[in-house]
């Protein structure tokens, strides 16, 4: 992709995103070469009603001999979305960026080039890697025109699963993710799970104006958390998925939306959840729906039986910010994300139920419920008037304070286990995220969780509390915890944690 010249770039409002007015030949992002269709084509049915183009897979970069070296170019560019020309952001000219496939013990080296008009950086969401130096350090700042060499070393016992990467520069994270900067990271299973095929589904949303440019966010959207009018799967609007009856697919789904909650359903098909975020369940769980807050991932088995259906995000009320003239999100409307057609006679009676493939036992999930807790803390998430430097907006705070990168809010002892109570004192949900160390959810809204549930984004519903346990093992250093409604994070709902080496 050719970069858009500074001369033609216009700054889009407070976002500082580069929009464009490109004439003539233009600089169309060629989405196609960046994407490869998955597997062999599947025959189309004659009565197949209007559905979109087949779901593509993002380009994939795979580690070899323990190393994956990639360059990620973050820049604006033109591409096609839902049949229209659009100007968005993207990594390497695509939306989503390439899927990075690595294994436990690998070294992932990423050269990040900033072709944006604002500072940026890179976060490897969910990876259990060092938060220091040129590893997963959220305090790194890469100025426009500069580049930075990241290096992430995955421990030999890193959990397999689905992770993702996105920018994390405080103040512009929501706009950059919303604009198109995200991609999946897969840490492969040591032993593959036998399925017919595997797909990565990166779900994101954005809003384009009639000229195909990203719209500016309003104050109300930045308070509530912006939700896009177009909800995309791998950058595609309502793509189609064809499966044959009796086949079993593994869908690795990322909620890369800046603020939108995804309560996913695929009615008529049998679904088994292998895990959420990096947390693999002890055994697959049969589900009817999967709830993904922003930042969450699902590892889902789909066992196909004949019929047409749709992957839908059904309404979820994430509350109100109480602001006049706004406040309620479009998570309240139902969205069709993809159409799914399953053809062919069933391979055999009773083939779907209770016949899961032999899932190799990777590792029994650790359970901290019996662990010795060395500290208990409470974090109160609040939204109040009079914040944002008295600018009349709303203040987004944790324990009464807005984010200050120069301050350490929480100091923990490396190697210790802590119990945190995440209290939501506001009228809206906040999906709470901690870098580097996943959280085991032990109590939700007053009820003990009776299974081993690990997540790195834990939704805390409005006016409620969730209790988690965290083992601060493996790494020391400073990093952050925050609300993963990225507008809330940009508005101050983030704190600094320092894990100190035991002495
Ligand atoms: Cu996915 Cu701190 O972020
Ligand atoms: Cu993260
Ligand atoms: Cu929030």
Q: Which pLDDT tens digit goes with each residue over 258-309?
A: 999 999 999 999 999 999 998 999 889 999 999 999 999 999 999 999 999 9
**What is the 303 CA–ligand 1 centroid distance (Å)?**
31
Q: Is residue 207 part of a domain?
A: yes
**Pocket around ligand 1 at a 6 A CB cut-off:** 123, 125, 166, 168, 295, 433, 435, 480, 482, 484
Q: Which residue's C-alpha comes closest to atom 1 of ligand 1?
A: 125
Q: Is residue 353 part of a domain?
A: no
| pLDDT at residue 393 in the model | 60
Peptide bond between residue 486 and the one before it cis (omega within 30 degrees of 0): no
Q: Is residue 363 part of a domain?
A: no
Q: Which residues constitute the domain of residue 323?
A: 7-348
Do 340 and 454 have their domain in common? no
pLDDT at position 82 over 60: yes
C-alpha distance from residue 54 to each of 161, 224, 236 (Å): 25, 33, 9
Report the alpha-carbon distance of residue 287 to residue 208 in Å, rounded.
34
Please provide residue 32's backbone torsions phi and psi, each rounded to the nearest 5 degrees.
-60, -55
**What is the 321 CA–ligand 3 centroid distance (Å)?**
10
**What is the 372 CA–ligand 2 centroid distance (Å)?**
26
Q: Which ligand is nearest to the CA of 437?
A: 2
**What is the 481 CA–ligand 1 centroid distance (Å)?**
8
Query: Taking all residues of the chain, what is their mean pLDDT, rounded to a whole number?
Result: 87
Do 295 and 407 have their domain in common? no
Q: Do residues 166 and 151 touch, judged by C-beta distance below 8 A?
A: no
Q: Which ligand is nearest to the CA of 125?
A: 2
Do 320 and 421 have their domain in common? no
Do 175 and 219 have their domain in common? yes
- Ligand 1 closest atom vs CA 125: 1
As a whole number, mean pLDDT of residues 461-465 equals 96
Q: Which ligand is nearest to the CA of 397?
A: 3
Do 251 and 377 have their domain in common? no
Q: Do residues 40 and 65 touch, judged by C-beta distance below 8 A?
A: no
- Ligand 1 closest atom vs CA 138: 2
- Ligand 1 closest atom vs CA 295: 1
Do 381 and 333 have their domain in common? no
**What is the 426 CA–ligand 3 centroid distance (Å)?**
9
Do 412 and 281 have their domain in common? no
Q: Which ligand is nearest to the CA of 296?
A: 1
Q: Which ligand is nearest to the CA of 182?
A: 1
C-alpha distance from residue 436 to each of 109, 163, 362 (Å): 18, 12, 21
Q: Is residue 118 part of a domain?
A: yes
Reported as a pLDDT band with limits 50, 70 and 90, residue 18 is: very low
Report the alpha-carbon distance of residue 79 to residue 122 in Å, rounded.
23
| pLDDT at residue 329 in the model | 55
- Ligand 1 closest atom vs CA 435: 2
> What is the model's pTM?
0.89
Do 341 and 437 have their domain in common? no
CA proximity to 158, closest of 358, 299, 295, 362: 362
Looking at the structure of the chain, the number of domains it has is 2
Three-state DSSP state, 33: helix
- Ligand 1 closest atom vs CA 457: 1
Q: Do residues 500 and 411 touch, judged by C-beta distance below 8 A?
A: yes
| pLDDT at residue 40 in the model | 29
Q: Do residues 433 and 470 touch, judged by C-beta distance below 8 A?
A: no
**What is the 140 CA–ligand 2 centroid distance (Å)?**
14
Do 283 and 414 have their domain in common? no
**What is the 402 CA–ligand 3 centroid distance (Å)?**
13
| pLDDT at residue 362 in the model | 66
| pLDDT at residue 46 in the model | 32
Q: Which residue's C-alpha comes closest to atom 3 of ligand 1?
A: 125
Report the CATH number that the domain containing residue 466 is assigned in CATH.
2.60.40.420
Do 409 and 334 have their domain in common? no
pLDDT at position 337 over 50: yes
| pLDDT at residue 30 in the model | 35
**What is the 206 CA–ligand 3 centroid distance (Å)?**
19
- Ligand 1 closest atom vs CA 126: 1
| pLDDT at residue 22 in the model | 33
């Amino acid at each position: 992709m050719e970069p858009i010249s500074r001369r033609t770039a216009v700054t889009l409002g407070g976002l500082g995103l580069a929009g464009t007015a490109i004439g003539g030949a233009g600089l169309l992002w060629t989405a196609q070469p960046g994407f490869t269709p998955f597997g062999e084509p599947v025959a189309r049915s004659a009565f197949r009603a209007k559905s979109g183009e087949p779901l593509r897979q993002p380009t994939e970069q795979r580690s070899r001999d323990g190393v994956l070296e990639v360059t990620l170019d973050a820049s604006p560019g033109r591409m096609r979305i839902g049949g229209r020309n659009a100007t968005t952001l993207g990594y390497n000219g695509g939306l989503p960026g390439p899927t990075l496939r690595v294994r436990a013990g690998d070294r992932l080296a990423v050269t990040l080039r900033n072709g944006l008009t604002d500072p940026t950086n890179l976060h490897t969401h969910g990876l259990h890697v060092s938060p220091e130096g040129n590893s997963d350090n959220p305090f790194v700042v890469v100025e426009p025109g500069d580049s930075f060499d990241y290096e992430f070393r995955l421990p030999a016992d890193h959990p397999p699963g689905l992770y993702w990467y996105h920018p994390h520069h405080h103040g512009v994270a929501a706009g950059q993710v919303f604009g198109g900067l995200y991609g999946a990271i897969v840490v492969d299973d040591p032993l593959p799970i036998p399925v017919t095929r595997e797909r990565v589904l990166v779900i994101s949303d954005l809003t384009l104006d009639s000229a195909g440019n990203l719209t500016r966010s309003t104050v109300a959207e930045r308070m509530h958390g912006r939700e896009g009018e177009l909800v995309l799967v791998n950058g595609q609007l309502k793509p189609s998925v064809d499966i044959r009856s009796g086949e079993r697919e593994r869908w690795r789904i990322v909620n890369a939306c800046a603020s939108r909650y995804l309560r996913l359903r695929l009615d008529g098909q049998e679904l088994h959840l292998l895990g959420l975020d990096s947390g693999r369940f002890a055994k697959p769980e049969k589900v009817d729906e999967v709830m993904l807050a922003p930042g969450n991932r699902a590892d889902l088995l789909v066992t196909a039986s004949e019929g047409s259906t749709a992957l839908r995000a059904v309404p979820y009320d994430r509350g109100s910010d109480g602001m006049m003239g706004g406040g309620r999100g479009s998570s309240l409307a139902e969205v069709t994300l993809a159409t799914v057609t399953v053809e062919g006679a069933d391979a055999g009676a009773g083939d779907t139920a209770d016949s899961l493939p032999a899932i190799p036992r990777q590792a029994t999930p650790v359970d901290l419920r019996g662990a010795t807790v060395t500290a208990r803390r409470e974090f109160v998430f609040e939204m109040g008037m009079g914040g944002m430097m008295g600018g009349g907006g709303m203040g987004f705070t944790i324990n009464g304070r807005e984010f200050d990168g120069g301050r350490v809010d929480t100091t923990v002892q490396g190697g210790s286990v802590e119990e945190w109570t995440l209290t939501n004192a506001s009228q809206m949900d906040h999906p709470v995220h901690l870098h580097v160390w996943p959280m085991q959810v032990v109590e939700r809204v007053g009820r003990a969780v009776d299974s081993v549930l690990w997540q790195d984004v834990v939704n805390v519903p409005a006016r409620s509390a969730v209790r988690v346990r965290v083992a601060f093992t493996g790494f020391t250093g400073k990093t952050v915890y925050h609300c993963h409604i990225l507008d809330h994070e940009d508005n101050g709902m983030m704190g600094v944690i320092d894990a100190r080496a035991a002495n």
